[in-house]
Chain A
Amino acid sequence: MIVTDAITWILDNRSTFMVAFNRHMLMCVISLGLAALISIPTGFMVARSPRAAFVSVNTAGSLRSIPSLAILAATMPFLGIGLLPSLVALIVLAIPPLLLNTILGIREIDPAVLNAAKGMGMGRREILWQIELPLAMPSIITGVRTSAIQVIGGAALASFIGGGGLGDFVNAGIALMNMPRLLVGALPIALLAIVAEILFGWLERRFTQKR
């Protein structure tokens, strides 16, 4: 069985596997974190201005139409190969869903709620933290979930531009036509994405129910 062969290979080469796995996780976490730090505050800033929101939504929408592979490849001429271009590409991949969902979440808030908050004497800052952020949260979580899936998949492709990670095993497996080696990469990548999908899907439902 190739699956058992793959598992045996992982157990025999635990340190090699862990290096690639950690690299993969590092790429995902850093790029998702930085993308969130960029897009969520930007989303809050532009959401209330129709023109800025229009520009951001359209830019993010067109950015989204460029395939992940092309974004990763396009960083190469500027940044060469390795971890840095991979991270930059993954951040670019993760921004549009986060930004779009943040803007959507804020715009869906009932203006009556904001007026009530103002009427109660809440300041700008209080409205942001106690009204807007909690109400926009389910939509933001949807953005995080979409971005996380994008980034985990993109990180698998980072191997093509020397970013390392689990994609390296898939590449080696195909180059050598070594099926167990292929699965050493492909199975954990798939599992990682499935876990992220289930975890964030659960979070999303929890936040929606609370509301």
Chain B
Amino acid sequence: MKWVPNNLDRLLEALIEHLYLVFSSIAIALIISLTVGIWVARRPRAFNVTVIITGILFAIPSLALFALFIPVLGIGKAPAIIGLAAYSLMILVRNIGLGFQSIPREVLEAAHGMGYGTWRRICEVELPLALPFIVGGIRIATVTLIGIATVAAYINAGGIGEIIFEGINQRFSEKIIASGVLTALLALSTDYLLSALEDRLRRRSGREAR
């Protein structure tokens, strides 16, 4: 353990870069998934097709997906963020769809009866009720992306993966293990924080519904 204490700033920099990659991808994917998810939630066939297509996208190995982007988008942060956003679509769309499907019909009818238009109903009634599911989706997507984003270093996107690749090339085990542990801790703590948020939302919306 000599490298880690002397390179804490380097690790911190990689960590911040990693979070930047993950959160910008999630933000982009969230905008797309909310639009698509809300639209397909009440259309079972469209929902199934969306889940299958995004599922196939999710199955493509990260190395292959990033590699397939190189001829079109080149290397760097932008193609990495696009690739990572594509990965999280499946998880986000599925959870957003399930969240909206979980809202009882009567609630929608009540909103309609109170004279709510579609837009107002979505924003003021459906979105708050579906929120625990949406946060659940964000949690799973974020944890998954934290792992996959390490491979993005391969196309010069930076992040913690860069240190893992250095470790592989220099046969430097400490770099490999330190960055592996750092990534795992990042994933576990994100999981913990977002689970806590999800629980709180679920309890709150449970009380309000009753």
Which of B63, B151, B187 gathers the greatest number of chain A CB atoms within 10 Å? B63
- Chain B at the A interface: mostly helix, strand, loop or mixed? helix
In angstroms, Cα B140 to Cα A191, docked, is 25
- Chain A at the B interface: mostly helix, strand, loop or mixed? helix
| Interface contact B70-A174, CB-CB below 8 Å | yes
Q: Contacts A67-B148, A73-B167, A77-B176 hold; do A156 and B59 have CB atoms under 8 A apart? A: no
How many residues of A are counted as interface, with CB atoms below 8 angstroms from the partner's CB atoms? 39
Q: Is B56 an interface residue (CB 8 A)?
A: yes
- Which chain B residues numbered 67 to 101 have a C-beta less than 8 Å away from chain A? 67-68, 70-71
Could you list 14 A-B pairs, sorted by A, with CB under 8 Å?
Answer: A65-B184, A65-B187, A67-B164, A69-B150, A69-B161, A70-B164, A73-B168, A74-B177, A157-B151, A174-B155, A182-B71, A186-B64, A186-B68, A197-B56
The range of chain B's interface size is 35 or more
Chain A interface (Cβ < 8 Å from any Cβ of B)? 2, 62, 65-71, 73-74, 76-77, 149, 152-154, 156-157, 160-161, 167, 170, 173-174, 179, 182-183, 185-187, 189-190, 193-194, 196-198, 201
Residues of B within 8 A of A193 (CB): 59-61, 64
Shortest beta-carbon distance from A104 to chain B in Å: 16
The number of A-B residue pairs with CB atoms under 8 Å apart is 122
Q: Is B191 an interface residue (CB 8 A)?
A: yes
Complex partner residue of B184 from A62, A73, A76, A154, CB under 8 angstroms: A62
Name the CB-closest residue of B to A161. Answer: B168
**Contact digits for B139-151, partner A, Cβ 8 Å, 1 yes 0 no:** 0000100111011
Name the CB-closest residue of B to A159. Answer: B63
Shortest beta-carbon distance from B1 to chain A in Å: 14
